[in-house]
Structures are given as C-alpha cells and as structure tokens.
Amino acid sequence: MTYLIRSLTICWLLILLPALALAESAEEKGLRIATESDKKDSGWSDQTADLVMILRNKQGDEARREIRTRSLEVDGDGDKSMSIFDTPPDVKGTAFLSFTHALKPDDQWLYLPALKRVKRISSRNKSGPFMGSEFAYEDLTSQEIEKYTYKWLKDESLDGQDTYVIESYPAYKHSGYTRLISWIHKGHLRPLKIEFYDRKNSLLKTLTQHDYKEYLPGIFRADRFEMVNHQTGKSTTLHWANYAFKTGLSSRDFDKNSLKRAR
Amino acid sequence: MSFKRISLYLVVSVLLISHQWTFAAEWSGNITAEARYFFEDALDNRQHRSTFSLSAQPEFYHEWDNRYQSLTFVPFIRWDEHDDERSHFDIRELTWLKAARDWELRIGIRKVFWGVTESQHLVDIINQTDLVESPDGEEKLGQPMVNFAWIQNWGTLDLFVLPGFRERSFAGSEGRPRTNPLVDADRAVYASPREDRHIDFALRWSHSIGNWDIGIAHFNGTSRDPDLLPGLNLQNQPVLIPLYQTIDQTSLDLQLVTEDWLWKLEALTRQGQNGGRYFAFSGGFEYTLVGINDSDADLGLIAEYHFDDRKDFAPTPFNQDLMLGARLAMNDVQSTEALAGFILDTNDNSKVFSIEASRRIGDSWKIMLEGRMITDTPSQSPLYSLRKDDYVQLELGYYF
C-alpha cells in the first residue's frame, strides 16, 4: 500500500514539475543558473596558474605584470587564494593572501618583502583597481553565490554560442557596481561576457573571456580575459597559463607563514 | 661567536654547498643613487650641506624540494661621499629554510619584523637598526639566528636563538643627520660580561582569529636600544658612548580590521634598561577613504599615540606623542604613493614633519622623495641636537 502511495506521489511530481518550472520567476531562474554554475565548478580542490597582465592606456602604451596564483577550494565558505608578484622588479616577492567569505567581509593580507612585514588590508577596498589594471579586486576574487542577487533576462546567441543572459546585483554595499550583466554559456555554464555598470548605473567596463578549455571533467577555464573600460579608454588583458589542479595544496599553504615565504 | 665569524662560516658553507648545484641561479635586486640636501649649516663644521651616495642590494634566491627548501642571500653595500661610517657592507640575509606541514626551520642571517603601528615600531626587537641608512630607524641589520616555527591550529609559536649581537650603526664625524656630540660606536660598552657574545632568546606566539591579528612575545638578551652616555674619545673630545643593557621584554601587538578601519596597538614592559622596569605603548587607527572623488585613489588617515612611562627621562622621543598622518595611494600603473606625517610631543611641544613619496618610471626604475623637518625642540629633548638637520632627499633606483 505504502509502495502504491509512493509511486503515485512520484507520478504526480513528474506531472507537476514542468508546471513548477514554468511558474519559476526570472529571479528564481537567475539564482538557479548561478547555483548550477557554481555547483558545476566545484571539486577542483586546488588550482595553480601563471598570469601575465598587459595594461594598456588610452594611447596604447603597454605595461606588463607577471603574477603566480594559487587557490584552494573551501567547503562551506569562500575560496582561499594567494597571488605572488614577479614583475615589475620593484614589487617582486610581494604576495597577497585572501580568504573570501560569502557574507562577511573577506580577510586580506599583503606581504611586503623589503620590510618583511605582513600588513592587514582593510576589506573595504574591493572596488579599487588591482595592480593599476582595469580589474577591481572584486572582479578577481572568488564569486560566491551569496555575494549577489540574480535575475534571468533572456536566452541569447552570442557569437554563435547559446547563452543565458543574467543580471546580478552585488549584495556588498561598498561594491563599485550597481549591476552586472553576464552571458553564461549553456554548456559549461561559465561566463563568456560580463558588462559592469558603475554606481551611477552607466556602462563602465566589458569583460570577455576567451579560449575555454576543460581541464578536469566539468571544470572549464578561459585562457584569455579582455577587460575594456569604456569611460577611460584603458584596457587590460589577462593571459592565463600553466593551469594545474589537485596539486595537493592545503590550508597550510594559505596562511601568514606561507605568505612570508611565498616568493 | 661574533657576528663576523658567524657570517664567515655561513658564507663558506653556502659556497661549498652551492658548488654542487647545477641549476640556474635566480638574481634580483636594486642599485640606488641618493642625494640629500640640508636646509641649514650643520652644528659641527665637519658636516656638509649636501651628500651623494650609492647603494646596491642584490638578492639571490633558490628553492628546491617542491618549494619546501630555499636559500636566500642578500648582501648590501653603500658608498657615501662624506660619511665613512655610512659607507658600509652588511649581509641582510643569508638563510636556509626548511618548511614542513606544521613547522618551519630557518638557519642563518635574517630580518624579522613584528608589529602593526606606522610611526614607531615599539615591539620590533629581533634586528638591530641600521641607523646610518635612514634616520627613521626603518632599516635593519641582518641578525644571525636559528628560528623554529611550530604551526598549529591555535597559532604559530616561534622560537628564536640569536647569537652574534649587532651594534647599532651611527653616523661618523662627517655624517648627517646625527647627534652632536657624535656617537663613538667603537667605544660601545655592555652590561653583560659576555659583551656582544651574549646569546639572546625570543619566543613569540601569533595568530589570526577572524578580524583580529595578535602577537605575544618575550625577549631576553642584549637591548637593541643603547643608552648614550657622555664620555671622551681617544683624542679627549666629547662623544656619546653606547651602553648596551641586558633586558627582559614582554610585548603585545594587536590589530583589528573592520571594513574601513584598522585599529592597532603595541605595548611592552621592559626590565633592565637603566635598572628599573618601564611600560610603553603605541596605539591608534588607520581609516581608509576608498576611491576619493570617484577616482581610483585611496586616502588613509592615520592617528597614533605613543606613551612611555619614563616620560621626560625616556631616551626615546616617543614619550607622550601624538602622530597624525595621511597616506595617498593612487593605485595607478606607476604605483604612485605618498605618506605625510606630523608628530607632536605633547610634553615639550617639539614637532616632527615628514613626507615620503614614490613612483615607478617604466618597468625598472623608481623615484623616491623624502623630507624631514624638526621644529620647536627644547634643549632637553633627544631631538635637540638634530634641530639643524632638516633635509630633503631624492633617490633614483634601478630594479632588476
């Protein structure tokens, strides 16, 4: 008898589910896609990669910055990450440690090798530029679901690829943005393009992510990021190389002791 | 063992080991030219209105064993146009590091920094100040040590064994800024019969808990801060003679971050300097205005208070002082930065103004400006003999 009831319940659910999906609001759909994207990009444990940043001013003059990055996936909290600067030579050995959190402010430390000093960084400066680039700190830290609220706008084809277009609103009151519009690839669920709108709700920057590769089953990374600032005419290219996953890093590789010997 | 002998042993062993290495070496560093100009004639006519100086600090670094072992070698050399004491060589770093999952061992010459405040580094005690390098005391001499760090969930416990005491460097007769009469470092005396061969110890627990960074430390050994006693040199001229006491110091450093605010406290109690025990603290905040005027620039406002319960008898200018400062970071491609500070002695009204600014030029050059001015110093202030030594300094560094 219970078996019959259970079967019936399942039948009903199967009939009702598509209807429930139809009743999903644009906000719920936006959150669902963001959650699926986040879930799909989990299980990589840890990641290391080399980054070359090319900063360009309006006149096209270029400056080059080389950074090594390490990240650690943390269950139930934001990721931990460390960035080590190799160039320009006067900042060589400077290292930046960050613990991302979903709701409370991130913890950030900077190691200054000339002074042998670890400095705590006020977590307020997320909207500021990273290394003089067109990327803000908040663009580069791990994107936790709770950091935004979402709204699905439409489905659209972007350069022949099917995407969900989702608007997201930073929950963090000191964010430099009022909203972001993201074009999320329907297959790997990673963004192909993001538009950033400033505090006055004018289009500030556009980020495009190119040359996605699947490094682990379901784990995709872009090799090239292009950020263009529409208001200043400046732009920044990030070239990612030597991606490695599950290298055996632990939380011990992301503490103040390891920051001091990061190099 | 003296510092020189320790350095010699270390250099020889590194040369012996490195002989067997077959990998590419990694060198970096900088070469810097510096010009200093003083606004007034000096108190002592052997001193000069302007000086030119060159320094070099190359750095060799190699890691192996999957980053769990490394060797760092940082020699430093300066040539100064006038000051024979400022023309000097030092090994800033020559360290072998072995890291494991829950410990790190470092053997060699190194620099270690403790503390959180900006205008004074009260609890920072491992390294001696290389005072000829910079009158603000920020530059340090390399200290020989064995440092074992035990890293646990409850924090990091660092044990330091520090053989080979380093004497503070002081400007020579033609050097500037300096005290008048000058300090005759060659006549230094010690409270300990073992003099500079006393082996010092330090223990420090440090931890980050949420928004807090905390450190508690104890040091036993030769004080890095000499008392300066009036005396005579071999030519029977008046000089100041450094006296190095044996001390016990317990200290606390604490920092709290809350979005725009950094709250800072350093406190210590020291026994043995001039016999008695004294207490001192430095505390304050840094408040950051992010993106001022809708630009990328950040402005940090700093306020710190210094207290030393020896008050007017304190050999430090920071006995009851208020510091106000502003730090501007342009966050541009050239990393343009400036820090302006003002220190007021609330007891005797003496004032110190300082400014530091820097900017990168291209990829490999950096220009740095520094200025310092002291006014209204009464004759009993430790700053009194620096009253004519206001200066501005320009440095151009090449980094590789």
Give per-residue pLDDT as tens, A84-115: 999 999 999 999 999 988 778 889 999 999 99
Res A4 pLDDT > 70: no
Q: How many residues does chain B have?
A: 400
B155 chain-A contacts, CB cut-off 8 A: none
Would you call A174 an interface residue with chain B, using a CB distance cutoff of 8 Å?
yes
pTM, entire model: 0.90
Res A239 pLDDT > 90: yes
Q: What pLDDT sits at residue B22?
A: 45
Lowest-pLDDT range of B129-138, B258-267, B304-313, B327-336: B304-313
Shortest distance between the Cα of B112 and any Cα of chain A, in A, equals 6
* Predicted ipTM > 0.85: yes
| Domain presence at residue A13 | no
**In degrees to the nearest 10, what's the CA dihedral of B100, B102, B104, B105?**
-90
pLDDT in tens, B207-230: 999 899 999 999 999 999 999 999
| Domain presence at residue A5 | no
Total number of domains constituting chain A: 1
| Domain presence at residue A28 | no
Q: Work out the average pLDDT over B222-247.
A: 94
Q: What pLDDT sits at residue A172?
A: 85
Share of chain A above pLDDT 90, in %: 75
| Domain presence at residue A12 | no
Average pLDDT over chain B, rounded to whole? 92
Q: What pLDDT sits at residue B17?
A: 61
* Residues of B (338-367) whose Cβ lies below 8 Å from A: 360, 363-364, 366
* Residues of B (247-276) whose Cβ lies below 8 Å from A: 255, 257, 259-262
How would residue B398 be classed by pLDDT, with cut points 50, 70 and 90? very high
How would residue B24 be classed by pLDDT, with cut points 50, 70 and 90? very low
Q: What pLDDT sits at residue B392?
A: 98
The DSSP annotation for B272-289 comes to STTSSEEEEEEEEEEEEE
Would you call A176 an interface residue with chain B, using a CB distance cutoff of 8 Å?
yes
Identify whether the C-beta of residue A166 lies closer than 8 Å to the C-beta of residue A34: yes
| Domain presence at residue A145 | yes
Domains of chain B with CATH codes:
3-399 (2.40.160.10)
How would residue A23 be classed by pLDDT, with cut points 50, 70 and 90? confident
Kindly state the tokens that stand for A35: 């959650």
Q: What pLDDT sits at residue B394?
A: 98
Q: What pLDDT sits at residue A5?
A: 58
Shortest distance between the Cα of A131 and any Cα of chain B, in A, equals 7
CB contact under 8 A, B70 and A55: no
CA angle B74, B76, B78 (to 5 degrees): 170
B154 chain-A contacts, CB cut-off 8 A: none
Shortest distance between the Cα of A202 and any Cα of chain B, in A, equals 14
Identify whether the C-beta of residue B99 lies closer than 8 Å to the C-beta of residue A250: no
- Name the residue range of residue A155's domain: 38-260
B290 chain-A contacts, CB cut-off 8 A: 124-125, 127-128, 174
B356 chain-A contacts, CB cut-off 8 A: none
Lowest-pLDDT range of B56-65, B80-89, B179-188, B375-384: B375-384
Q: What pLDDT sits at residue A263?
A: 80
Residues B245 and B319: their CA atoms lie apart, in Å, by 20
The DSSP annotation for chain A comes to -HHHHHHHHHHHHHHHHHHHHHT--HHHHHHHHHHHHHHHT----EEEEEEEEEEE-TT--EEEEEEEEEEE--TTS--EEEEEEEESGGGTT-EEEEE--SSSPPEEEEEETTTTEEEE--GGGGGSBSTTSS-BHHHHS---GGGEEEEEEEEEEETTEEEEEEEEEE-STT-SEEEEEEEEETTT--EEEEEEEETTS-EEEEEEEEEEEEEETTEEEEEEEEEEETTT--EEEEEEEEEEE-----GGGGSHHHHHT--
Of B28, B61, B255, the CB nearest to A120: B255
Q: Work out the average pLDDT over B171-185.
A: 94
Res B48 pLDDT > 90: yes
Q: What pLDDT sits at residue B396?
A: 98
- For an interface test with B, give the residue of A116, A126, A138, A201 to mutate (most B CBs within 10 A): A116
pLDDT in tens, B253-311: 999 998 889 999 999 999 998 768 999 999 999 999 988 888 899 999 999 999 999 88
Q: What pLDDT sits at residue A75?
A: 84
* Residues of B (106-145) whose Cβ lies below 8 Å from A: 111-113, 115-116, 138
| Domain presence at residue A24 | no
CATH, residue A87 = 2.50.20.10
How would residue A18 be classed by pLDDT, with cut points 50, 70 and 90? low
CB contact under 8 A, B28 and A92: yes
| Domain presence at residue A19 | no
Q: What pLDDT sits at residue B306?
A: 96
Q: How many CB pairs under 8 A join A and B?
A: 100
Identify whether the C-beta of residue A134 lies closer than 8 Å to the C-beta of residue A234: yes
| Domain presence at residue A29 | no
